[in-house]
Amino acid sequence: MAKVLTPRSESYSQWYNDLVLKAGLAENSAVRGSMVIKPYGYAIWEKMQRILDQMFKDTGHENAYFPLFIPKSFLSKEADHVEGFAKECAVVTHYRLKNDPDGKGVIVDPEAKLEEELIVRPTSETIIWSTYKNWIQSYRDLPIKCNQWANVVRWEMRTRLFLRTAEFLWQEGHTAHATREEAIEETETMIKVYSDFAENYMGVPVKIGVKTANERFAGALETYTIEALMQDGKALQSGTSHFLGQNFAKAFDVKFANKEGKEDFVWASSWGVSTRLMGALIMAHSDDNGLVLPPKLAPIQVVIVPIYRSQEDLDKISEAVSDIQSKLRARGIDVKFDTNDQRKPGWKFAQYELQGVPVRLAMGARDLENGTVEVARRDTLTKEVVSIEGIDGYIAELLDTIQENIFAKAAKYREEHTTSVETYDEFKNVLEGKGGFILAHWDGTEETELKVKEETKATIRCIPLDQPEEDGVCMVTGKPSKKRVLFAKAY
Amino acid sequence: MAKVLTPRSESYSQWYNDLVLKAGLAENSAVRGSMVIKPYGYAIWEKMQRILDQMFKDTGHENAYFPLFIPKSFLSKEADHVEGFAKECAVVTHYRLKNDPDGKGVIVDPEAKLEEELIVRPTSETIIWSTYKNWIQSYRDLPIKCNQWANVVRWEMRTRLFLRTAEFLWQEGHTAHATREEAIEETETMIKVYSDFAENYMGVPVKIGVKTANERFAGALETYTIEALMQDGKALQSGTSHFLGQNFAKAFDVKFANKEGKEDFVWASSWGVSTRLMGALIMAHSDDNGLVLPPKLAPIQVVIVPIYRSQEDLDKISEAVSDIQSKLRARGIDVKFDTNDQRKPGWKFAQYELQGVPVRLAMGARDLENGTVEVARRDTLTKEVVSIEGIDGYIAELLDTIQENIFAKAAKYREEHTTSVETYDEFKNVLEGKGGFILAHWDGTEETELKVKEETKATIRCIPLDQPEEDGVCMVTGKPSKKRVLFAKAY
């Protein structure tokens, strides 16, 4: 059977694009930079949402919904925010169309011009803090821990499905606290939630760290990040959590009376992950045959394909499958029995490989006689013949094994592609050679950071939290350094 | 305790507004016409979403996501759609801001003007059918049954929280079929799903019917609706399902090859419900003390309030409550134990009444000695003392009873406020008197329909599906009529 995907070795980026399209995950739309998330892609995103949403609730958060539009003047209120935030935003200037007097189309009604333009939210700190002002008077009103699932728009010029699109889906948490310590604790709690999700559900190992001042979110005092490594040796920032200090409270005049009756500004955090996670999930595990999904996020965890010549065969197989299906469902496993008679088994095998279904069962007349079934694993592409007796327990365990194996494989790849270097030459060699994460000493200046970026396109992904202190010298300037930082080229 | 809400008898609309604000459901935002859905309101909406989403999946639908923006030219492609659809839309004309050279704010960058303006979706038929064109070649690709949960914007001039806002949340289903019959069947299936949801989860009885040509969705051949009756005698359109014929397929040139290899245009339906349902839920059941929620949609179904003087008392009560809580949770009941010591029990009672918690348990030291607990029902405002022994079974049954009672009460109100009239004078008297639904004969002309609307503000809500055929004469013109239609003033 002809391969439907460009091999990774030929072009990693073409492979990615082929895979997203051919597996039915997403496609470009008629609107420049905006994607359509197709049902199969959306089903994966829904699984992610459900799990994350429960994690947020378990850590004491509530969902709410804030407006899509932000008055233009709000964006100017927090000085660092407006300075640092990208200005590429969709701007609403009018609120009415009218029939074109010259034709049969519609035109924008010039008389319906807004007094103040509205910005389609690129992120919601400003509109949310203008709202929190009305919710907070005293320490009794704190903390507020809201999350929203929403769409946001950033007018990206060069877009890639899931990784960088003008409109994308995300969640953004925005919390308000009485003390600095509590806000920092929240910021750290949430980056750990993200790390837990990435590693234990997506099967993607991540480095937790803080961003350099230069790479911080506009308006944050500290930005925590999780950085994942893709199969092409490039890093993907997969989630961020920001300690905002009192910046937005000051910008929107949000004060509270503390227990002693003294007024103070409120402390804040914000944190988010987006449909970009889909890109991380796809790129971390998949191969030249298609998607490889961790069982915990697979919309279909097990597919059963019947192999038959006669209706009589199919009837017998269906009877046996029906029993297997109910046993698997009783264990909470998502299973599909594909009886579509327009397609041959070989076509189906390739299709489910392309779509990353973790386990495939094939059952023919001979299997029935023998009381067996053929079990194929997507992650290893191996097959074995297994007894139908106790198949449900076998598969439940196999799904756990696959989940672990996918993580282990990605962790091994990351380990092999994380290099400590001492000199700038070594750094450049590794970067252009095997790529990946590079741990190096840095003198802590923005000047050096930007010089490396300009000369090599690598950036400091983060200062890892688990990096031990050690005496060293900056690979570029030779100035003293106490800790290695994590460099990589990034998406 | 002072009443916090304006009584319904004084001003129904002020009562509604007070209730939405005071119960913490929603509030107006800094953006004209856009609301903030607060955590408690959003928790109810989430329960609605979960249930509806499962109903959609059970009827064979998948979720997907389509762009927020629609190219202006798309709106002109379906003639009826552009003609009939309201032109009040948010229009994006620019894609970049820049720092104001004269000050420290931001301005719209005049050089970043879009070639073609983008409309923030008021509904998504056009962008979705432009996408479906690429998905459909043959009958094998059909049916497509997609739903999306999304925000939409219609620039309403007079807004009311939940009932009519510029931005609102909804779901919109868009399906594509090979035959007219199948598309009609889908349209009817979905209006029944909505009716099932309204009656069996929201506790709101609804009339299913079809809209007159004049009230149809722009571009539809038939619009099905569910119409609910509020406590002030006005109707609220709560969900619609449209048979779109081949209109959008023709506008976007979506053809398929049928089994015989002949090309034909694809048949379509679309259907939606929105956060407007929150308005229906609130207005149908609530009273002057606050919200009354049907247990199936209540974020907190049971609240337990301890009555104590000493920490020792509280400890004992907490121990007993902990046991009750786990038994209730084991039955899938959402229960909250309110140990906040900043508030007195009386304040809490009023608060939970305001928020419509269906069942409240109060437990004091004497209850503990007697092995009893005080159970208060929100719907009837009655209390009784019940043995702790078997309390979980008692409460599970009580929640069912409350769910049924809320529906029965609304059904009784509707029955008492549905009047058959024979003459136009009688019609006007009922409309200005007790209000409600009025069943009357109509000659079937738009002329008469508009005359009634202009003279009385009542509209034909629908031609009910269950209305028996009977010979009669139009109450206005005396012309013959075969069936009564449903009139009412409406939100």
User: Does any domain span residue B2?
Assistant: no
User: Does any domain span residue A353?
Assistant: yes
Chains A, B: CB contacts within 8 A come to 193
CB contact under 8 A, A97 and B108: no
State the CB neighbour count (10 A cutoff) for residue A121: 24
| pLDDT, position B1 | 46
Pick A95's closest partner by Cβ from B62, B118, B155. Answer: B155
Packing angle of the helix pair A391-416, A276-285 (nearest 10 deg): 90
Q: Which residues in B lie closer than 8 A to residue A150 (C-beta atoms)?
A: 151
CB contact under 8 A, B96 and A88: yes
Q: Which residues in A lie closer than 8 A to residue B341 (C-beta atoms)?
A: none
User: Does any domain span residue A304?
Assistant: yes
Among A247, A263, A285, the domain-final residue is A285
| pLDDT, position A2 | 52
Instruction: Looking at the structure, tell me whether residues B243 and B304 fall in a common domain.
Output: no
Instruction: Looking at the structure, tell me whether residues B183 and B305 fall in a common domain.
Output: no
Taking only the tens place, the pLDDT of each residue in B391-419 is 999 999 999 999 999 999 999 999 999 99
Distance from CA of B180 to the nearest CA of A (A): 24
Please tell me which residue of chain A has the smallest CA distance to B35.
Answer: A67
Whether chain B has a CB inside 8 Å of the CB on A150: the answer is yes
Sequence-distant (6+) residues with CB within 8 A of A320 are A363, A368, A388
Interface test with A, best of B40, B44, B91, B157 (most A CBs within 10 A): B91
Whether chain B has a CB inside 8 Å of the CB on A46: the answer is yes
The whole-number average pLDDT for the span B87-108 is: 90
Interface test with A, best of B32, B70, B95, B108 (most A CBs within 10 A): B95
Q: Which residues in B lie closer than 8 A to residue A64 (C-beta atoms)?
A: 36-39, 42
Site of tokens 């944050």: A220
Please tell me which residue of chain A has the smallest CA distance to B50.
Answer: A50
Q: Which residues in A lie closer than 8 A to residue B155 (C-beta atoms)?
A: 95-96
3-state secondary structure of B39: helix
Among B252, B285, B318, the domain-final residue is B285
Distance from CA of B171 to the nearest CA of A (A): 14
3-state secondary structure of A316: helix
What is the pLDDT of chain B when averaged over all its residues?
A: 96
Instruction: Looking at the structure, tell me whether residues A384 and A427 fall in a common domain.
Output: no
Distance from CA of B330 to the nearest CA of A (A): 18
DSSP for B283-317, written as a single string = HHH-BTTB----GGG-SSSEEEEEE-SSHHHHHHH
For residue B228 the two structure tokens come to 């609910």
Give the structural domain span for B248. Answer: 12-94+122-285
CB contact under 8 A, B73 and A34: no
Question: Could you give the strand order of the β-sheet that contains A383-387, starting from the edge strand earlier in sequence?
Answer: A335-337, A302-307, A359-364, A372-377, A383-387
User: For residue B466, what pLDDT band results from cuts at 50, 70 and 90?
Assistant: very high
Identify the bridge partners of residue B229 per DSSP, sorted by sequence position: B235
Distance from CA of B76 to the nearest CA of A (A): 5
Smallest CA-to-CA distance from B37 within A27, A201, A127 is with A127
| pLDDT, position A1 | 46
Instruction: Looking at the structure, tell me whether residues B266 and B348 fall in a common domain.
Output: no
Identify the bridge partners of residue A65 per DSSP, sorted by sequence position: B37
Prior bond to A143 cis, omega within 30? yes
Instruction: Looking at the structure, tell me whether residues B171 and B210 fall in a common domain.
Output: yes
Pick A88's closest partner by Cβ from B36, B43, B95. Answer: B95
Whether chain B has a CB inside 8 Å of the CB on A39: the answer is yes
Among B238, B264, B285, the domain-final residue is B285
Whether chain B has a CB inside 8 Å of the CB on A104: the answer is yes
List the CATH number of the domain containing B477. 3.30.110.30
CA–CA distance, B44 with A326 (Å, rounded to integer): 33
Distance from CA of A413 to the nearest CA of B (A): 33
Please tell me which residue of chain A has the smallest CA distance to B37.
Answer: A65
User: Does any domain span residue A120?
Assistant: no
Whether chain B has a CB inside 8 Å of the CB on A68: the answer is yes
Pick B127's closest partner by Cβ from A30, A62, A89. Answer: A30
User: Does any domain span residue B252?
Assistant: yes
Whether chain B has a CB inside 8 Å of the CB on A119: the answer is yes
Pick B155's closest partner by Cβ from A39, A96, A105. Answer: A96
Pick B87's closest partner by Cβ from A73, A91, A97. Answer: A97
Instruction: Looking at the structure, tell me whether residues A250 and A385 fall in a common domain.
Output: no
Number of domains in chain A: 3
CB contact under 8 A, B89 and A99: no
User: Does any domain span residue A238?
Assistant: yes
CA–CA distance, A480 with A445 (Å, rounded to integer): 11
Instruction: Looking at the structure, tell me whether residues A405 and A472 fall in a common domain.
Output: no
- Which helix (H) or strand (E) element contains residue A485? strand A480-488
Q: What ipTM was estimated for this complex?
A: 0.96
List the CATH number of the domain containing B136. 3.30.930.10
Instruction: Looking at the structure, tell me whether residues A272 and A402 fall in a common domain.
Output: no
Instruction: Looking at the structure, tell me whether residues A302 and A399 fall in a common domain.
Output: yes
User: Does any domain span residue A79?
Assistant: no
Per DSSP (E only), the strands in A124-234 are 144-153, 167-177, 206-210, 222-229
User: What percentage of chain B exceeds 70 in pLDDT?
Assistant: 99
User: Does any domain span residue B4?
Assistant: no
Q: Which residues in B lie closer than 8 A to residue A70 (C-beta atoms)?
A: 31
User: What percentage of chain B exceeds 90 in pLDDT?
Assistant: 94
List the CATH number of the domain containing B311. 3.40.50.800
Distance from CA of B95 to the nearest CA of A (A): 4
Q: Which residues in B lie closer than 8 A to residue A155 (C-beta atoms)?
A: 95-96
Distance from CA of A304 to the nearest CA of B (A): 19
Q: Please say if the pLDDT value at position B268 is more than 70.
A: yes
Instruction: Looking at the structure, tell me whether residues A169 and A45 fall in a common domain.
Output: yes
Taking only the tens place, the pLDDT of each residue in A109-151 is 999 999 999 999 999 999 999 999 999 999 999 999 999 999 9
Instruction: Looking at the structure, tell me whether residues B348 and B248 fall in a common domain.
Output: no
CB contact under 8 A, A90 and B66: no
B238-B448-B123-B80 Cα dihedral, nearest 10 degrees: 150
Pick A90's closest partner by Cβ from B27, B92, B106. Answer: B92
Pick B69's closest partner by Cβ from A34, A63, A73. Answer: A34
Distance from CA of B251 to the nearest CA of A (A): 13
3-state secondary structure of A344: coil
Half-sphere exposure of B335 (CA within 13 A, CB side): 22
Interface test with B, best of A46, A97, A104, A116 (most B CBs within 10 A): A97
CA A343 to chain centre: 34
Query: Exposure pattern of B348-384 as b/e (b: 16+ CB <10 Å)?
Result: bbbbbbbbbbbbbbbbbbebbeeebbbbbbbbeeeee
Interface test with B, best of A37, A65, A274 (most B CBs within 10 A): A65
Instruction: Looking at the structure, tell me whether residues A392 and A432 fall in a common domain.
Output: no
Q: Which residues in B lie closer than 8 A to residue A97 (C-beta atoms)?
A: 72, 75, 87, 89, 91, 119
For residue A267 the two structure tokens come to 């402390």
For residue A406 the two structure tokens come to 């996918």
In tens digits, chain A (491 residues) has pLDDT values of: 457 899 999 999 999 999 999 999 999 999 999 999 999 999 999 999 999 999 999 999 999 999 999 999 998 887 777 777 778 999 999 999 998 888 778 899 999 999 999 999 999 999 999 999 999 999 999 999 999 999 999 998 899 999 999 999 999 999 999 999 999 999 999 999 999 999 999 999 999 999 999 999 999 999 999 999 999 999 999 999 999 999 999 999 999 999 999 999 999 999 999 999 999 999 999 999 999 999 999 999 999 999 999 999 999 999 999 999 999 999 999 999 999 998 999 999 999 999 999 999 999 999 999 999 999 999 999 999 999 999 999 999 999 999 999 999 999 999 999 999 999 999 999 999 999 999 999 999 999 999 999 999 999 999 999 999 999 999 999 999 999 999 999 99
Taking only the tens place, the pLDDT of each residue in B172-228 is 999 999 999 999 999 999 999 999 999 999 999 999 999 999 999 999 999 999 999
| pLDDT, position A103 | 76
Whether chain B has a CB inside 8 Å of the CB on A240: the answer is no
Taking only the tens place, the pLDDT of each residue in B106-157 is 899 999 999 999 999 999 999 999 999 999 999 999 999 999 999 999 998 8
